[in-house]
Amino acid sequence: MGLLESIIGKKTGDTRVIPVTLKITVITALFLLVSNLTTNYINLIFNQNELIDLSRSLLAKDLRDIQNFATNQHEIFKFNNDLKASYNAIETKAVREFENKKSILIGFDKKGKISIHASAMDRKKEFSDKKTLDVINQNFSQKIQQGFLYFEYNNSEYFGIYKYNDKWDMYLLRGEEVNQFLKRSNQIFREISVIIVFLSVIFTIVGVFFIRYILRYIPIITRSIMLMVNSQKLEIIDLKKAPNDEITYMGMAFNSLSSTIDNLVNIFRKFVNHDVAEKAYAEGEIRLEGTQRDLTILFSDIKRFTFITETLGADIIKLLNMHYERAIREIDKEQGVIGSIIGDALLAVFGVLENSHDNKSYQAVRTAFSLQEVAESLRIQMDKKKEEIVRSKRKMTAEESRVYEAVLLEIGVGIDGGNVFYGNIGSSIRMTNTVIGDNVNSSSRLEGLTRIYKVPVIVSEYVKDDIEKHVMDHGIEFVFLDLVQVKGKTEGKKVYWPVRKNLIDRSMEDSIGFFERGLDLYMNGKWSTAYTNFQKCKMPLAEVFLERTSSKKAPSNWDGIWKMTTK
């Protein structure tokens, strides 16, 4: 039964899985047999009628006659001393015997200098095939004065017979060009090839019809798999009408495996970044490696988190998930990847994905605006909940008021960029994707400054310059906030508040103008005048400067840089 099952297939349950190789082998063998018998028979008929004798005897006979004639001409030359006439006579005799246009007879000495040239082609002064000349001379040194050989002449391949003529002290070489000599055989070959191609096409068309019908589900499966490879998403192949053979069985096995792997891949992608998942999918592994890259880093943090945690307890997870569900989608929309999520803090990286063609800093700033909108929409939802409670109870309890205050999420966002390390760190047992660099820490420091300057987003000069240099009509006003020396640094760093230009009304524009004039006076040590301008600014960001300049006099060592003493 083992041999029989290997031929006709093995049963799986009540269904016999017929080997697709059996079907292909039977059909292919029949058509190949008919095709080969037909073409071989035709080829035999042509070959019997048009055999080409490539024997050396014909050339040898021609060369022998010319050798004898050349010897006689040498005697005539000794009598009349007319070298040219003797050479012409030999050439005329040789040309008279030629049957092909490119037939040649040449006589040349051991250095390759041609004295006799019988041919319809232009006369050559030297036998240019040095390799063949060396062989002839080497044979001569071994007392071999004649032979059959292949050589190149006039940029064509020749075959012929040569013999040394001692009277003239030269080699006489009778040759035929290979292509011209084989012209008839090539013509026969082409005629047979046309017939073979014609019959092959006919048999192939018929064969393909049957084979394609038998294997009709292979293209369906192949196309489905190719679509899955391109989309990097596993799906189920439709096999409802497929026949009961090995191909269908493989498709069913693939569907089962696809379903399992798809679940695992979906879980995997939720825990790793897009670029890591794509690389793992393409290479089949994740390595501990990293590179220096120019990236933009966004750091977001929830304000009053200690109060929120103390108030909500375990329910803090629900609130965080409500926020992150939309926040991470906004990051993903701008082709950012999540660097880490640590409780209330979120780190996102832009410029990592290779298929991203937008400016990374512009993506980060747009994301920062979206994150603020996400937090605001959550606050609006909570306000509606409060209104419902008030309408139903008329008054909120102290506990409900505390919870309400806790769920009104406010976030700060800091953005910096530059050259950082991006890659995988850890061990072969457990690894994580991370970004490391001074600019990563700086984005966290900038987020911390949002609490001091009372603005939602603060960016570095790198981010501002990157957008202004590479993005046309970006629609963002970068309000210069301060020159700050954060803790742990020795130099001041310019920080900016990005604002959408379409949100700046006349009142805000006036306040920004007062603030900028006040800031310029403040940095130049003119605190008294600066204080007056800050008073005219109606934005919260002026409050910290009113506090700083309340003494109306700058310190004696004032250099325009505000030094932070905390992180």
pTM exceeds 0.85:
no
CA–CA separation, 128 and 110 (whole Å): 12
Q: Which residues pair with 153 in a beta bridge?
A: 156
Does 236 fall in a domain?
no
Mean pLDDT, residues 427-451 taken together: 82
> In this structure, is residue 251 part of a structural domain?
no
Residue 224 lies in a domain: no
User: Is 79 inside any structural domain?
Assistant: yes
**For the ranges 235-244, 423-432, 461-470, the one whose mean pLDDT is highest:** 461-470
Q: What angle do CA 373, 476, 365 make, to 5 degrees?
A: 50
Segment 268-287 mean pLDDT: 56
Is residue 258 in a domain? no
512 compared with 48, residue with greater pLDDT: 512
Instruction: Answer yes or no: do 108 and 14 share one domain.
Output: no
**529 and 517 co-located in one domain:** yes
The answer for residues whose C-beta is within 8 angstroms of residue 157's C-beta and 6 or more apart is: 150, 151, 177, 178, 179
Amino acid at 6: S
Among 60-64, 93-97, 126-130, 497-501, name the most confident range: 497-501
Same domain, 454 and 469: yes
The pLDDT, as a whole number, for residue 219 is 65
How far apart CA 183 and CA 168 sit, in angstroms, is 34
For residue 421, which of 297, 256, 550 has the smallest C-alpha distance? 297
Q: pLDDT: is 2 or 418 the higher one? A: 418
Considering the domain boundaries, does residue 253 fall inside one?
Answer: no
Residue 62: inside a domain: yes
What is the model's pLDDT at position 368?
93
Rounded (10°) CA dihedral 37, 43, 44, 50: 170
Read out DSSP for 186-240? HHHHHHHHHHHHHHHHHHHHHHHHHHHHHTTHHHHHHHHHHHHHHHT-------T
Q: Within this chain, do residues 26 and 69 fall inside the same structural domain, yes or no?
A: no
Per the structure, the count of domains in the chain is 3
Residue 244: which pLDDT band, with cuts at 50, 70 and 90? confident
Q: Is residue 221 part of a domain?
A: no
Same domain, 13 and 126: no
CB of 368 closer than 8 Å to CB of 498? yes
Bridge partner list, 499: 477
Cα–Cα distance measured from residue 154 to residue 175, given in angstroms and rounded to the nearest whole number: 12
Q: Do residues 204 and 344 both lie within one domain?
A: no
Judgement on whether residues 327 and 367 belong to the same structural domain of the protein: yes
CATH of the domain at 152: 3.30.450.20
The reply to whether 521 and 442 lie within a common domain is yes
Is the confidence at residue 104, as pLDDT, over 50? yes
What was the pLDDT predicted at 52?
Answer: 37
Q: Are residues 32 and 164 in the same domain?
A: no
Residue at 160: amino acid letter: G
Is 50 exceeded by the pLDDT of residue 51?
no
Domain of 391, CATH number, reads 3.30.70.1230
Domain that holds residue 444: 289-563
- Nearest to 337, CA basis, from 423, 228, 233: 423
Same domain, 293 and 383: yes
Do 323 and 408 belong to one domain?
A: yes
Give the confidence band of 206 by pLDDT, cuts at 50, 70, 90: confident
107 and 208 co-located in one domain: no
Which pLDDT score, from 0 to 100, does residue 63 have? 83
- From the list 247, 204, 244, 242, the residue with the least C-alpha distance to 222 is 247
